[in-house]
Amino acid sequence: MKKEFNFIQSRKICVIISLCIFAVGILFNVIFGTGMDVSFSGGTLVRYSYAEKIDVNAVQAMAQDVLGKDAEASLENVDNTDVVTVTFPKEITLEQQTKLNERMTKDFKDNKPVQVEAKTLSAPMGRQFFVKCLAAIALAAGFLLLYVGLRFRRIGGFSAGLCALLALVHDLLICYFVFVIFRINLDDNFVAVMLTILGYSLNDTIVIFDRVRENRRRHKNMPISDVVNLSINQTFTRTLVTAVAVFVAIAVVVVVALIMRIDSIMSFALPMMFGVVSGFYSSVFLSAPIWALWREKKAEKK
C-alpha cells in the first residue's frame, strides 16, 4: 500500500514558514520601499528604437544630464521591437523633451535612435489608476470566494471559501514581496501577475476540495482530518506535476529575458515563477489543512 504523507500534521510548520517569509518581505519593504512605474506614480516615459547595440548606461548618464539625477534608462522589448526606455518621476517640459531628443540623436547617431513613444502622467492620475487596479484584484478575489462558497456548500462552503481566500491572499503577498525584494517597479505587469496567480492558485485549491467532497460522501464515518489528508495525497501527484511543468516553462522565459535583458518580460515572468510555487504550496499545505482545523474546532463546540 502506498504510504501517505501527513499534511495535516505539518500545517503548523508551514504556517510558521509562511510567517517568516512575510517577515522578510515586510523588512525589505520597510527598508527599500515600493518602486512604482510611471503608470502608477506619475512622471514621464520616453522610448526610442535603435538599430545597433546601445549602451544603456551611457543613455542613462545622458538622460540624467538633461533631466536630473532621478532619470533612469532600461532596455526593453515592446511589440517585438527592441527599445531603450527613459523614465523620469516628474512631468518634463517641452523644452526638456526637445533637448532629450536632440541629445539622443547626437550622442547615439550610430545607433539611429527613433522616438516611438512618449507619455506623461500626473501623480494624482497615476495613484487613481493604481487604486482602480487594486479594486479590480479585490473584486476578482471576491467573485472567486463566492464561487467556492456555492460550489462546496455541502461541505461548508463559507469556511472552504474563506480558507481558499486565505491561500489566495498568501500567494498575492508572496508575488508582491518578489517585486519588492528584486526591486521591480509595480507596473501593468503587476496587475497581470496578480490576476493570473488568482486563477492558477484557486484551480489547485478547487481540485483538492473537490476530492474532499467526494471522499466525504464515500467515507462518512472518517474524521475530517483523515478525509482531507487522503484527498491531498490522492491529488498531490497531479498538482505537483502541473506546478513543475508551469514552473519550468516560466523559468525558461526568465532565463531568456535575463540573457536578452528584456525587462518588460522579466517583470512578469519572475514574480509568476514564485507565484506558481506559492500557489502549489498554499493549496496543498495551507488551505485544506487549515479548513480541516476549522471544521474540527466547530465540531468540538457542537
Which residue blocks in 219-301 are alpha helix, DSSP H?
224-260, 263-282, 288-301
Ranges in the chain, pLDDT < 50: 1
Q: Tens of pLDDT along 160-199? A: 888 888 888 999 999 999 999 998 888 888 888 988 888 8
Residues ≥6 apart with Cβ < 8 Å to 174: 21, 25, 274, 275, 278
pLDDT digits (tens, 9 = 90+) for 45-89: 899 999 888 899 999 999 999 998 888 898 887 767 788 889 888
CB-CB contact of 255 with 247 (8 Å): no
Say how far apart CA 72 and CA 191 lie, in whole Å. 23
pTM across the whole model: 0.81
